[in-house]
Amino acid sequence: MLLGDIVTCHPTEGERYYLRLLMSVRGPKSYEDLLECMFEAASYQMPSNLRQLFAMLLIYCNPTNPRELWEIFESPMFEDFKKSSN
C-alpha cells in the first residue's frame, strides 16, 4: 500500500475506522477536538474500543488535561466491567 492511498472503512471496524478518521484531518487542533472524538466514539463503540482510543489519544495526542478526559469518559469506558460484576 502506498502512503498516499485513501482507504475506506466502516465505523464497525473499530480501531481501523478511528485511525482513518484521525488521519483524514490535519490533526486535532485543540482539546475540544479530542473531546469531540471521544464523545462520538462513546455514542456507538464498545467499552474496550473506547479504552484503546483513550490510550492512543494519551500516547499520540498529548492532551492538555488527561484527568478531565478520564473523568468524563470513565463510566462509558468501563460499562462492560460494571455489567459483569453484577
- Give residue for cell 482507504: 7
C-alpha cell belonging to residue 77: 469506558
Question: Which residues, 6+ apart, have CB-to-CB distance to 21 below 8 Å?
Answer: 37
Indicate the pLDDT class of residue 68, thresholds 50, 70 and 90. very high
**Mean residue pLDDT across the chain:** 83
Q: What whole-number distance in Å separates Cα of residue 61 and Cα of residue 56?
A: 8
Q: What is the pLDDT of residue 2?
A: 46
**Domain ranges within the chain, ordered by starting residue:** 11-85
So what's the pLDDT on residue 29?
76
Instruction: Identify the burial level of 77 via C-beta atoms within 10 angstroms of its C-beta, where 0-12 means exposed, 13-18 middle and 19 or more buried.
Output: buried
Neighbouring C-beta atoms of residue 13, cutoff 10 Å = 12
Least confident of 26-30, 55-59, 72-76: 26-30
Mean pLDDT of 58-72: 91
